[in-house]
Amino acid sequence: MTERIVLAYSGGLDTSVAIGWIGEATGAEVIAVAVDVGQGGESLETIRQRALGCGAVEAYVADASDEFANEYCMPTLKANGLYQGHYPLVSAISRPVIVKHLVKAAREFGATTVAHGCTGKGNDQVRFEVGIQTLGPDLKCIAPVRDLALTRDKAIAFAEEKGLPIETTKKNPYSIDQNVWGRAVETGYLEDIWNAPTKDIYDYTATPEFPPAPDEVVISFEAGIPVAIDGVKVTPLQAIKELNRRAGAQGVGRIDVVEDRLVGIKSREIYEAPGAMALITAHKHLEDITVEREQARFKATVGQRWSELVYDGQWFSPLKRSLDAFIEDTQKYVSGDIRMTLHGGQAIVNGRRSDTSLYDFNLATYDTGDTFDQSMARGFIELWGMSAKVASGRDIRVAGQ
């Protein structure tokens, strides 16, 4: 039986050429796997037909947009997932769901190898291959661009020679990855980190310099998940899409950052994540009134480590699974409403309410009705500073000897 290889297929030039390129280099049949994670653009059927036209013997397509929103975006929201405090893990959280479908397709079609279009410089090669090793430890992995020397100029020449049904162009200098959680842009003139991004970089967001009138929105949460916008019930996918539209119109969610890649190099990235950043902002503010102080402090540490694990391709790791359990426990009372104003590139919270809030007006007020016993403060301060006071006395005594 001829060996079969499953290829993560985007419908673009590189992966379209990879179908025939892999076949010629290995003698294997190629099954193209396309997964919709809300990236927009062409229909899955169009992509399926292109894969077959480029020589794939089978084409597996999956609409995973709700799955992605529910099982990958929502855990990221609950963790307030931001790598290095900036990046909302746009590409990092899409790779595990794609891996899941790659392994499923490999089982379905009897493939022994999984291929992806990543280079040897990026994070995604690690995310794909570690995920595949975890879910399908018997499967082999290849990367045509990295392992078979499939460069872009070779890809264009191959596509033209074979008459493949794919546009071949050198005009677009950027590498772009997008899904419903956000959009990532890199390479080209952006590699000079002094160069400012130009307007043509952006697609999910309007320029914040000339915004429309402020847009006030109320987001309702239940156990850390958005369930309504302005009183209208929504699914997680609908919530993300609606805030992509409304926050994007105000230029919210533009991120320009130099980040530390897993492979050890620094990389300049431009991100657009209007819905993700608006939701994370709202979620953080709701946690501020519903999560106990010490639990909240520790959750910030957990969220940072969670984000690093996900960025580093460890979505399926035991540690990440354990951190998930802690984060999920913290979300028990994260229910209520957040009111925020979207305007000029900012999402500013100006109202909070929750039936499970820890905010006590009578304890917080300085006016009549204050129930806080201020006489307790003096003794508290004495005890709180006792350790430092004793140590300081020791330091003075020793220094004087």
Ligand-binding annotation for 317, yes or no, is no
Is 83 marked within a binding site?
no
Asked if residue 106 lies in contact with residue 114, where contact means CB atoms within 8 angstroms, the answer is yes
14 catalytic? Reply is yes
- Residue 160 CB coordination number (10 Å): 11
User: How distant, in Å, are the alpha carbons of 253, 355, 384 from that of 351?
Assistant: 20, 14, 33
Active-site choice (4, 36, 91, 124): 124
Query: Is 72 annotated among the ligand-binding residues?
Result: no
Binding site annotation covers 58?
no
| 161 is annotated as contributing to ligand binding | no
**Residue 251 backbone phi and psi in degrees, to 5:** 75, 20
Cβ(145)–Cβ(119) under 8 Å?
A: yes
Choice among 4, 50, 95, 246 that is catalytic: 95
192 in catalytic set: no
202 annotated binding-site participant: no
Catalytic residue list contains 43: no
Residue 323: its H or E element: helix 318-330
Among 146, 147, 175, 354, the one annotated catalytic = 175
DSSP string covering 256-277, please? EEEEE-TTS-EEEEEEE-HHHH
Q: Specify whether the CB–CB gap between 392 and 383 falls below 8 A.
A: no
The tokens describing 14, both together, are 């590189």
Q: Which residue is catalytic, options 4, 14, 65, 352?
A: 14
| 11 is known to lie in a ligand binding site | yes
* Ligand-binding site membership of 16 (annotated): yes
Alpha-carbon distance of 190 to 192, in angstroms, equals 5
**Any binding-site annotation on 8?**
yes
Instruction: Give the separation between CA 39 and CA 43, rounded to whole angstroms.
Output: 10
Find out whether 175 is annotated in a ligand binding site: yes
60 is in an annotated binding site: no
Binding site for ATP, by residue number, is 8-16, 117
Binding site for L-aspartate, by residue number, is 119, 123-124
Binding site for L-citrulline, by residue number, is 87, 123, 127, 175, 259, 271
**Hey, which residues are catalytic here?**
14, 95, 124, 175
